[in-house]
């Protein structure tokens, strides 16, 4: 069946995904109806501006983080491992129920 009068499922999913990203990441500046009814060129422009802004924020955040601490384990896991390696017992007690 031809899909001449309507959107393909792939294009439809990408449009709704783009609308969701603008509404969700627009920090309250946009509602669904406004974005849905935007001209396509304006919606694409707005989406690209949001992408650019969040990429700049991520780059700035990555530059601020020290490069020496590349461990992905949380600090509390590292502390427990250090305590176990040194033979120290935990400073908490566990009650049996």
Q: Per-residue pLDDT for the chain (97 aa), expressed as one digit of tens each?
A: 565 677 788 888 899 999 999 999 888 889 999 999 999 999 999 999 999 999 998 988 888 887 655 556 666 666 666 666 666 555 555 566 5
pTM of the model: 0.58
3-state secondary structure (DSSP) of residue 70: coil
Q: What is the DSSP letter of 87?
A: T
List the domain boundaries for the chain: 1-65
Q: What's phi and psi for 88, nearest 5 deg?
A: -75, 145
Between CA 21 and CA 16 the distance in angstroms is 9
Amino acid 6: pLDDT: 77
Residue from 54, 46, 55 nearest 18 by CA: 46
């Amino acid at each position: 069946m031809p899909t001449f009068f309507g959107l393909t499922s792939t294009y439809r999913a990408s449009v709704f995904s783009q609308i969701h990203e603008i509404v969700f990441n627009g920090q309250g500046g946009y509602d669904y109806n406004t974005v849905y009814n935007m001209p396509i060129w304006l919606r694409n422009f707005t989406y690209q501006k949001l992408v650019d802004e969040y990429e700049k924020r991520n780059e700035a955040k990555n530059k601020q983080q020290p490069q020496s601490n590349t461990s992905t384990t949380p600090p509390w896991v590292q502390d427990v491992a250090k305590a176990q390696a040194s033979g120290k017992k935990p400073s908490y007690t566990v009650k049996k129920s």
